[in-house]
Amino acid sequence: MTARLVRLPRLRHPLLCIWLILSCIIWSTIASAQQNKLVIFAAASLKDALDEVNAAFQRDKGPETATSYAASSTLAKQIEAAAPADIFISADLDWMDYLAKKNLIKPETRTNLLGNRLVLIAPVNSTVKLAIGPNFPLAQALGTGRLAIADPSSVPAGKYGKAALEELGVWSSVIDRLAPAENVRATLILVSRGEAPLGIVYQTDAVADKGVKILGIFPDNTHPPIIYPIAAVATSTNPGDAEYIAYLKAPAARTIFDKQGFTVLK
């Protein structure tokens, strides 16, 4: 059988040619913009502040961002499984160290960004009064309810909470009365909705939700320092990594973080 040569129709109309050329340019620009969009994996407790910072970054610098919020443990495992992230912001040093040991971050980009505090909260209409201290009656204050806390086996806020309660001598009294949540924001919701009478979250989370009130702040010496490190992911080829990390340390972002209640580390 002889192959037949199929002739494509010639584009005789010059306007059609111009339209096709412009279309190619537009799609090429869109594809390039999508490739340059910064993909950020950030601890759930950063959502309110980082959404505002990212909006300011796009306004001031131009590049778009796409942010995934979850527990630091979940995000670190996703990065380990080759999720396409450019930047990782953890709520503790442990999960950043976890990725560093596996050579999954760029060590030269790593820096400690923020600090926070740990608080005990109750629904805003609660009548519970409780002073945090050694052997304080946390179990009795729960009544028939449970203590909302981020999963203490892996989530930073839960690990900090467990450490504080152990140091104060009350962990054993509530270990069987926990309502573990997948991240600190889920913990906050349990208390805000009245599904748990008490909970342990970061101070910035409590301030952001009008449905809860702070009963007390855990002393800093009862748990490891709450530090949020940031780094570029090893597989990232985004040219905006360094600019973004620098922006989060700059005055515009510092003002937003301060307003949200974070401690900006120098």
Residues 53 and 98 in one domain: yes
Q: What is the mean pLDDT of residues 62-77?
A: 95
Residue 130, domain member (yes or no): yes
Q: Domain of 78: which CATH number?
A: 3.40.190.10
Tokens of 137: 């009656």
Do 243 and 205 belong to one domain?
no
For residue 96, the model assigns a pLDDT of 98
| Average pLDDT score over residue span 241-266 | 94
Find the mean pLDDT for residues 101-110.
98
> Do residue 250 and residue 200 come from a single domain?
no
How many Å apart are CA 170 and CA 55, to the nearest integer? 42
pLDDT at 91 over 90: yes
Mean pLDDT, the chain, rounded, equals: 89
In a domain, 72, yes or no: yes
Q: 60: closest CA among 256, 232, 247?
A: 247
pLDDT at 112 over 60: yes
So what's the pLDDT on residue 26? 39
Mean pLDDT of 113-128: 97
What DSSP string runs through 49-90? HHHHHHHHHHHHH---EEEEEE-HHHHHHHHHTT---SEEE-
Please, are residues 212 and 188 in contact by the beta-carbon 8 Å criterion? yes
Q: Are residues 108 and 122 in the same domain?
A: no
Q: Write 126-130 long-range contacts (CB < 8 A, 24+).
A: 126/197, 126/213, 128/197, 128/198, 128/215, 129/215, 130/198, 130/215, 130/216
**Residue 19 included in any domain:** no
pLDDT tens, residue by residue, 40-56: 999 999 999 999 999 99
Task: Verify that 109 and 240 share a domain, yes or no.
Answer: yes
User: What is the span of the domain harbouring residue 180?
Assistant: 118-222
Residue 249 and residue 99 in contact, taking contact as beta carbons nearer than 8 Å: no
**Entry pTM:** 0.83
Task: Convert the pLDDT of each residue in 137-190 to its tens digit.
Answer: 999 999 999 999 999 999 999 999 999 999 999 999 999 999 999 999 999 999
pLDDT value of position 62: 83
Terminal Cα-to-Cα distance of the chain (whole angstroms): 77
15 lies in some domain: no
35: pLDDT strictly greater than 60 = no
User: Do 205 and 147 share a structural domain?
Assistant: yes
Window from 30-34, 78-82, 187-191 with minimum mean pLDDT? 30-34
Continuous segment of H or E residues that includes residue 122: strand 118-123
Q: Are 103 and 234 part of one and the same domain? A: yes
Whether residue 137 sits in one domain with residue 104? no
Taking the CB of residue 187, how many other CB atoms lie within 10 A of it?
31
Question: Does any domain span residue 2?
Answer: no
